[in-house]
């Protein structure tokens, strides 16, 4: 059942508990094909279930995390509150119309939008606008169509290597369907042009060398600059997508490079910060918006809400320009009216239907974000430093692991204020055969990744392997063990006495990886 069908299936004659699909069902509706569950396992392709899964050691937040008890409770409460609105006595004898369902959805998304703005320390009156999206990839699609609206020729989209951001991102930026199913449930041909979408040229710039080690940052910046200058000479608009951070924890191109190019080409170059990992502090988000950059985030990575939920922050000056134009005809199968802020021309031309799955996923994510915001920056910083030191030590002293280097996180020319988001929270590593020391290949690494999640009473969830070039002629991928907001909150319970338990669980997760490597 897709989002539109759900709205039509709701009837007020049903009791409050039975009006809508269950909370578990709604959490896997209103997204593309990636959100679907495997009937055999009850989990999605990333191993996450739509119910709490307390028996798994969750260290895979760079990909996804199963919903927590507290977040599921919050989503369930909202689902029941929505159902109660449909069960109003005065409506008990007449079918609920699409408009009724859409109105409830619009009110709730408006509330979610305002709460997200407040939790990020932003101004609800003069601050940015937020467009909600079914995933981070959907946010890229929306940003690209907005950036392309003024282009007279195909714009040039500059991104880092898709292996470091998302396999569907190049298609989304080029105006193509990136999945076989859209967020609103339409079956489409993956890779085909979206009807009436603006075609774009996508240029991907590598940020790691052929052996997986990081490229020199100055060389990466130079590549982005060359592409921006060439596009300007050809009369092309540019959308520069800067990763903060990438799948393996890299900022690229540098913030200084993005700021300089935006200032150099203020009328023809837009910047989208791909912060879909949401591993940025409020001060960093505010600084990006103050530069005039769009910022894409999700609630399902560092924040550990359920898969999938996206949001695109658009700074006020840019919003004033973009709200007057419509890209609705390009987004009809991806976006609904209430996903957009009030007063946007695009919103007025989109279908007025609810996506209750997206609503519940963001409600769950905000539950996690509220808990995280209750922990001070100093306490968060302390735990993340401690976690990073423990993981680095474990990876460095085990002959079965090789930590992939991650450059220090630098955001110059922003103020060098100490903040938790200057600390590495994604730790990529290769696996090595115990006797030969040769790297484990990508296929075997993927096998271990899946086996960890299926291993009886000691299941472990790490982030999905990332392709990292070749070693000794062998294609290799890096597993990733990650810190998350949920781990910060858990570690700080009982005045921080839980910290050692979290660290012990992380070390044990790596022990489980080592055990599977030895069994190859």
pLDDT at residue 421 in the model: 98
- The rounded percent of the chain whose pLDDT value lies above 90 is 86
Nearest to 212 by CA among 249, 168, 167: 249
What is the CATH topology of the domain spanning 124-347? 3.40.640
- Left if phi > 0, otherwise alpha if psi is -120 to 50, otherwise beta: which for 373? alpha
Whether the per-residue pLDDT at 125 is higher than 80: the answer is no
Per-residue buried b or exposed e for 279-294, using 16+ beta carbons within 10 Å of the residue's own CB: bbbebbbbbbbebbbb
pLDDT band at residue 355 using 50, 70 and 90 as cut-offs: very high
- Tell me the average pLDDT across 456-480: 95
99 band by pLDDT with thresholds 50, 70 and 90: low
In the predicted structure, residue 171 carries a pLDDT above the cut 70: yes
In this structure, the strands spanning 310-314 and 129-133 are: antiparallel
Does residue 457 surpass a pLDDT of 90?
no
Question: Cα 320–326–329 angle (5° rounding)?
Answer: 160
Q: According to the model, what pLDDT value does residue 240 have?
A: 99
Q: What is the pLDDT of residues 367-421, one digit of tens each?
A: 999 999 999 999 999 999 999 999 999 999 999 999 999 999 999 998 777 899 9
Q: Which residues of 353-362 are buried (b: 16+ CB within 10 A; e: fewer)?
A: bbbbbbbbbb
Mean pLDDT of 479-486: 99
Mean pLDDT of 302-324: 97
Dist CA 209 CA 215 (whole Å) = 6
Closest alpha carbon to 382 in 278, 488, 506 = 488
- Look at residue 100 in the predicted model and tell me its pLDDT: 86
Q: Could you tell me the residue ranges of all domains in the chain?
A: 124-347, 376-518
- pLDDT at 13 (0 to 100): 28
Q: Quick one: average pLDDT of 56-65?
A: 97
Q: Which two tokens stand for residue 213?
A: 């080690």
Per-residue pLDDT at 91: 45
Q: What is the pLDDT of residue 278?
A: 99
Confidence of residue 173 (pLDDT cuts 50, 70, 90): very high
Fold topology of 376-518: 3.90.1150
The C-alpha atoms of residue 398 and residue 304 are separated, in whole angstroms, by 29
């Amino acid at each position: 059942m897709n989002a539109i069908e759900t709205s039509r299936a709701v009837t007020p004659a049903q009791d409050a508990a039975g009006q809508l699909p269950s909370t578990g069902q709604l959490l896997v509706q209103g997204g593309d094909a990636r959100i679907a569950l495997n009937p055999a396992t009850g989990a999605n392709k990333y191993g996450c279930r739509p119910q709490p899964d307390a028996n798994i050691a969750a260290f895979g937040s760079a990909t996804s995390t199963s919903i927590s008890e507290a977040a599921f409770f919050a989503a369930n409460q909202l689902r029941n509150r929505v159902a109660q609105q449909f069960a109003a006595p005065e409506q008990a004898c007449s079918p609920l119309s699409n408009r009724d369902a859409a109105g409830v959805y619009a009110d709730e998304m408006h509330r979610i939008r305002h709460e997200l703005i407040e939790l990020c320390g932003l101004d609800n009156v003069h601050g940015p606008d937020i467009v909600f999206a079914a995933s981070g990839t959907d946010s890229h699609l929306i940003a690209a169509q907005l950036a392309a609206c003024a282009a007279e020729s195909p714009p040039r989209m500059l991104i880092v290597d898709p292996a470091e951001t998302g396999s569907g991102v190049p298609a989304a930026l080029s105006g193509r369907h990136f999945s076989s199913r859209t967020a609103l449930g339409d079956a489409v041909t993956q890779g085909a042009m979206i009807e009436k979408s603006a075609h774009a040229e996508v240029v991907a710039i590598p940020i790691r060398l052929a052996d997986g080690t990081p490229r020199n940052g100055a060389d990466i910046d130079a590549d982005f600059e060359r592409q921006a200058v060439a596009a300007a000479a050809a009369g092309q608009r540019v959308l520069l997508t800067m990763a903060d951070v990438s799948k393996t924890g890299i900022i690229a191109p540098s913030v200084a490079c993005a700021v300089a190019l935006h200032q150099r080409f203020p009328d023809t170059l837009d910047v989208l910060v791909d912060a879909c990992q949401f591993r940025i502090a409020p001060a960093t988000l505010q600084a990006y918006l103050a530069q005039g950059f769009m910022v894409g985030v999700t609630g399902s990575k560092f924040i550990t809400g359920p898969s999938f939920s996206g949001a695109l922050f658009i700074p006020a000056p840019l919003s004033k320009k973009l709200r007057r134009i419509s890209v609705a005809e390009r987004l009809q199968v991806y976006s609904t009216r209430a996903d957009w802020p009030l007063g946007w021309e695009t919103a007025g031309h989109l279908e007025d239907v609810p996506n209750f799955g997206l609503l519940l996923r963001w409600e769950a994510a905000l539950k996690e974000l509220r808990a995280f915001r209750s922990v001070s920056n100093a306490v968060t910083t302390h735990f993340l430093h401690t976690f990073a030191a423990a993981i680095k030590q474990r990876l460095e002293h085990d002959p079965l692991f090789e930590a992939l280097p991650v450059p220090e996180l630098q955001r110059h020319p922003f103020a060098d204020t100490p903040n938790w988001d200057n600390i590495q929270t994604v730790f990529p590593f290769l696996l090595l055969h115990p006797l030969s020391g040769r790297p484990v290949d990508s296929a075997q690494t993927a096998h271990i990744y899946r086996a960890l999640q299926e291993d009886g009473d000691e299941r472990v969830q790490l982030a999905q392997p990332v392709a990292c070039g070749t070693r000794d002629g062998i294609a290799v991928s890096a597993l990733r063990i990650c810190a998350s907001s949920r781990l910060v909150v858990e570690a700080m319970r009982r005045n921080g006495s839980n910290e050692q338990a979290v660290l012990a669980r992380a070390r044990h997760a790596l022990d489980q990886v080592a055990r599977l490597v030895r069994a190859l």
